[in-house]
């Protein structure tokens, strides 16, 4: 499917014609959402329309389109963070280039969806998918990003780590919108971002996203974060395990500390078999082993 920016105007429906509200201000949008809490929010539409082939699009009955709301389309950077309006396209963020984006963030955003889709796809839409943690989730998690959520009644900030409950439910009230995402811009001494699976984009049973970041001081790991996502409703991160590597020395080869970490991780991942296949676990361990036993490649 190739989406063009005019698609929402030109849609042809095979169901009863949906009602589409296209406000130009956030206040209007929030007031309308208060009255229509179960309306589907439409940002770029690339997830909502994904996998729809043929000329007739199937649309939800009631749609709130965010695309004409200027307040949601702002994008800027301060010294310490990136501020991304919920409807800023991934393409626009990526075009900001290396002066604005860290190499990790650029790689992670490029890895969300194919280049043909980035002009419409948004970060708000990626985080707003109700039933899955999509591709940006692991990186937003380890970078400690947070989301501004607004309703007609007020505003709250939620860290991406708190955007999902223990059971994987998206913690967004039906009357709320994701309006902004703030991403801290820290310097990391080493990082990896990998997408694994039979296809570079899309969701297949073997799809996996691995994100790892670390800080070092005089060859010692002072901070280490690591997350895995497989497009299910859960994402894997274990801060207790992360601390196992803190205070350890980076060295070539598989140190005792690294072995202990990999062993503990393997045990953990195997107890979560419903999330990761044996092949995925093997690949995660291999990537971590190679990265962390050759850290100078990444520093």
Q: Does 163 bind ligand FAD (CB under 6 A)?
A: no
We find the least distance from the C-beta atom of residue 77 to ligand FAD, in angstroms, to be 20
Question: Which of 8, 101, 104, 135 is close enough to bind ligand FAD by CB under 6 A?
Answer: 135
- Chain residues 243-282 in contact with ligand FAD, contact rule CB under 6 A: none
Q: At 293, list the tokens.
A: 């036993």
Largest CA distance in the chain: 65
Nearer Cβ to ligand FAD (34/223): 34
User: How many residues of this chain interact with ligand FAD, rule: CB under 6 A?
Assistant: 33
SS3 66: coil
Q: Does 47 bind ligand FAD (CB under 6 A)?
A: yes
Rounded Cα distance, 35 and 292, in Å: 52
We find the least distance from the C-beta atom of residue 289 to ligand FAD, in angstroms, to be 26
Nearer Cβ to ligand FAD (57/177): 177
CA distances from 59 to 39, 66, 174, 234, 258 (A): 11, 16, 18, 26, 50
- Chain residues 189-208 in contact with ligand FAD, contact rule CB under 6 A: 201-202
If one counts every other C-beta atom within 10 angstroms of the C-beta of residue 158, the result is 15
Nearer Cβ to ligand FAD (120/244): 120
Contact assessment for residue 182 and residue 259, using Cβ atoms and an 8 Å cutoff:
no
Rounded Cα distance, 122 and 45, in Å: 9
Tell me whether residue 123 is exposed, middle or buried, using C-beta atoms within 10 angstroms of its C-beta: 0 to 12, 13 to 18, 19 or more: buried
Question: Which of 37, 76, 103, 114 is close enough to bind ligand FAD by CB under 6 A?
Answer: 114
Q: At 287, list the tokens.
A: 């990537």
Pick the closest to residue 219 from 141, 160, 299 (CA basis): 299
Rounded Cα distance, 218 and 249, in Å: 9
Question: Which of 117, 227, 228, 265 is close enough to bind ligand FAD by CB under 6 A?
Answer: 117
Question: Which of 85, 124, 229, 295 is close enough to bind ligand FAD by CB under 6 A?
Answer: 124
Q: At 75, list the tokens.
A: 């994008």
Residue ranges in the chain assigned as alpha helix (H) = 7-10, 26-35, 90-95, 103-110, 123-128, 137-142, 239-243, 256-271, 278-293
We find the least distance from the C-beta atom of residue 224 to ligand FAD, in angstroms, to be 25
Q: Does 43 bind ligand FAD (CB under 6 A)?
A: yes
We find the least distance from the C-beta atom of residue 81 to ligand FAD, in angstroms, to be 19
Question: Which of 109, 112, 145, 262 is close enough to bind ligand FAD by CB under 6 A?
Answer: 112
Q: CB pairs under 8 A, 24+ apart, for 285-289?
A: 287/192, 287/194, 287/196, 287/210, 288/210, 288/212, 288/226, 288/262, 289/254, 289/258, 289/262
Q: Does 46 bind ligand FAD (CB under 6 A)?
A: yes
Draw the binding track, 55-84, toward ligand FAD (x: CB under 6 A; -: no contact): -----------x------------------
Nearer Cβ to ligand FAD (50/298): 50
Draw the binding track, 227-246, toward ligand FAD (x: CB under 6 A; -: no contact): --------------------
| Residue ranges that bind ligand FAD, judged by CB under 6 A | 1, 40-48, 50, 66, 86, 112-114, 117, 120-122, 124-126, 128-130, 134-135, 172, 177-178, 201-202
């Amino acid at each position: 499917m190739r989406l063009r920016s005019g698609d929402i105007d030109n849609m042809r429906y095979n169901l009863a014609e949906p009602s589409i509200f296209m406000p130009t201000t956030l206040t209007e949008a929030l007031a309308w959402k208060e009255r229509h809490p179960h309306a589907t929010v439409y940002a770029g539409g690339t997830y909502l329309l994904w996998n729809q082939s043929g000329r007739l699009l199937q649309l939800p009955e009631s749609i709130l389109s965010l695309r004409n709301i200027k307040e949601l389309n702002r994008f800027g950077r301060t010294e310490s963070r990136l501020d991304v309006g919920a409807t800023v396209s991934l393409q626009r963020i990526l075009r900001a280039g290396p002066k604005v984006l860290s190499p990790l963030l650029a790689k992670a955003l490029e890895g969300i969806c194919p280049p043909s889709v980035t002009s419409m796809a948004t970060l708000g839409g990626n985080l707003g998918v109700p039933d899955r943690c999509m591709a940006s989730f692991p990186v937003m998690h380890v970078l400690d990003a947070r989301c501004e959520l607004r309703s007609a009644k007020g505003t709250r900030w939620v860290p991406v780590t708190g955007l999902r409950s223990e059971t994987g439910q998206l913690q967004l009230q039906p009357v709320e919108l994701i309006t902004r995402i703030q991403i801290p811009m820290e310097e990391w001494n080493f990082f990896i971002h990998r997408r694994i699976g039979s296809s570079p984009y899309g969701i297949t049973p073997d799809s996996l996203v691995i994100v790892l970041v670390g800080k070092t001081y005089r060859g010692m790991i002072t901070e280490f974060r690591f997350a895995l996502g497989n497009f299910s409703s859960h994402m894997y991160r274990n801060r207790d395990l992360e601390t196992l590597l803190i205070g350890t020395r980076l060295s070539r080869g598989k140190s005792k500390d690294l072995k202990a970490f990999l062993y503990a991780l393997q045990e953990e991942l195997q107890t979560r078999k419903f999330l990761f296949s044996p092949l995925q676990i093997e690949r995660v361990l291999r990537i971590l082993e190679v990265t962390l036993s050759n850290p100078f490649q990444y520093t």
